[in-house]
């Protein structure tokens, strides 16, 4: 739901700061669907806020960054 809201209305329609804080937890969730939707959400948020999102992703594990790199042209950190 969040990725579609972000896609349709942009990051100003929803506050992404609370979501960004949960990205690592969501990417580590046991449910594959949660992890997949989180990837889509991160890519969509990056599309809207660009490089401002990079510092927030510094806490991600290298494996998680690799996953994001494989599904999009997400810039390398």
How far apart are the C-alpha atoms of 24 and 39, rounded to whole Å? Answer: 10
pLDDT (tens digit per residue) in 1-28: 556 666 666 656 667 788 888 888 988 9
3-state secondary structure of 30: coil
Give residue 77's pLDDT: 46
pLDDT (tens digit per residue) in 31-63: 999 988 888 888 888 877 777 777 877 788 888
Give residue 50's pLDDT: 77
Give residue 33's pLDDT: 92
């Amino acid at each position: 739901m969040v990725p579609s809201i972000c896609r349709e209305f942009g990051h100003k329609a929803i506050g992404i700061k609370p979501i960004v804080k949960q990205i690592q937890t969501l990417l580590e969730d046991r449910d594959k669907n949660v992890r997949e939707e989180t990837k889509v959400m991160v890519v969509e948020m990056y599309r809207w806020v660009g490089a401002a999102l990079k510092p927030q992703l510094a806490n991600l594990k290298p494996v998680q960054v690799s996953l994001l790199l494989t599904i999009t042209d997400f810039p390398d950190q």
